[in-house]
Structure 1
Amino acid sequence: MFRTEDLSDNSLVKQFVDGDQAAIELLIARHKKRVFTYIVLIVKNHHLAEDIFQDTFIKVIRSLKSGKYTENGKFISWVLRISHNLIIDHFRKEKLLSTTSNDDTNIDLFNSQKYSEENIEDKLVYDQITSDVRLLIEELPDDQREVIMMRHYQGLSFKEISDLTDVSINTALGRMRYALINLRKLIEKKNLSLTKI
């Protein structure tokens, strides 16, 4: 006999969109461990990870109901991308809310090199380099782009990357190697200078 558990993710998505509430519960149960592990590895805080996990699936449900999901890849990759964006949003908000008080110390913090404004030209050059690199990364194949983002933007180890992407460590390392080779080729092809003058 055919069981609901045997249905593909996309079949369950279709059932949920058609009104079957049990389908989304099965999808959440199926992917809970991987999504939660992904979030907790990045935020390194269990309670915060639970909040972001919950927000992720609230957004997944809303997006599915409003027809924003298209079958252009794996459902799980889409969910992980949503959780990744929510993590970035959280850290951006946290950065905006963090303030420093001069009252808590005997030293004048605001007369410190640490808090001095960097040269505006340096900042503009740095921002341009960062922007150029991000655009180059977008041109890489999906598997290479994923390993670059996880390693350099999320700070994950190759062991963590291999666990999250369901590949061996050697495959993850290989993808990184090819990503760097391809980035060098793109830099040469576009004749870009990615250094501060």
Structure 2
Amino acid sequence: MEDDKLVKRCQVGDKEAFQELISKYHPFVYKFLIKITANEDVAEDITQETFLKLIRNIEKFDVHGKAKFSTYIITISKNCYIDYLRKEKKFSQDLAIDENINAEDINTNTESIVLEKIYSKEVKKELENLSEEQKLAIKMKYIEGLTLKEIGEKLELEPKTVKSRIHNGIVKLRKIFEGGDKL
């Protein structure tokens, strides 16, 4: 509720409210971007771009809608990161972007963090080091956009088994990117 009041003040041009909002969310956005970029300078640049876009588009946030403000700002930062990847030619044009990524619980959602990186060449390379079962399940879910049920039907597996393979593969990928370890 506090965020809604702050956003309403921002929407009417209250500069102090903007400063409060930025102070409150800068660490949240920066930490998210550090996790997906693994580069402090890039994370800071994208954080700045995120807040510039937020300031320019604050009126688009519906304080009475379903989405939390934290989800809105993480979505902006995710899109800024994707723009950065495109500019750096690290974005693979043949992959479809899954616009249904839920950034709601970004601090605990390992899948969201890895999903952001799945479009980079580095992750595609590391994906090849997973077991065939994990690699196939992850590709079908995040690249082909299939549901757990659809993957299960194609592979003749229970959806819970598919979910487990995806989860375990993503955990392995996360360990690689957090610690620089090889599988």
Number of equivalences: 123
Q: CA deviation at 1:38?
A: 0.8
- CA apart distance, 1:44: 1.9
Secondary structure of the corresponding residue to residue 79 of structure 1: helix
CA-CA distance at 1:153 after TM superposition: 3.7
Greater Rg by CA: 1
Q: How does 1:50-89 map to 2 (within 5 A)?
A: 50-64=44-58, 67-71=59-63, 72-89=66-83
Alpha-carbon displacement from aligned partner over 1:97-143 (angstroms, at most 9, x marks no partner) = xxxxxxxxxxxxxxxxxxxxxxxxxxxxxx5xx65x948xx499x76
> Which sections of structure 2, spanning at least 5 residues, go unmatched?
119-140, 156-183
**One-letter amino acid matched to 1:8:** E
Aligned counterparts of 1:26 and 1:183: Cα–Cα separation in 2:
40
Counterpart of 2:4 in structure 1 is 10
For residue 149 of structure 1, the aligned residue among 112, 134, 154 is: 112
**Structure 2 CA distance, aligned partners of 1:70 and 1:24?**
16
Matching residue's letter, 2:48: Q
CA RMSD of aligned residues (A): 3.6
Matches of residues 9-158 of structure 1 in structure 2 within 5 Å? 9-64=3-58, 67-71=59-63, 72-95=66-89, 131=96, 134=98, 138=100, 147-154=110-117
Tell me: CA distance 1:139–1:9, structure 2 relative to 1, closer, same or farther (3 Å). Answer: closer
Quote the sequence identity (%).
31
Shift of 1:52: 0.9
SS in 1 for 2:36: helix
C-alpha contact 2:36 2:114 (8 A) present in aligned 1:
no
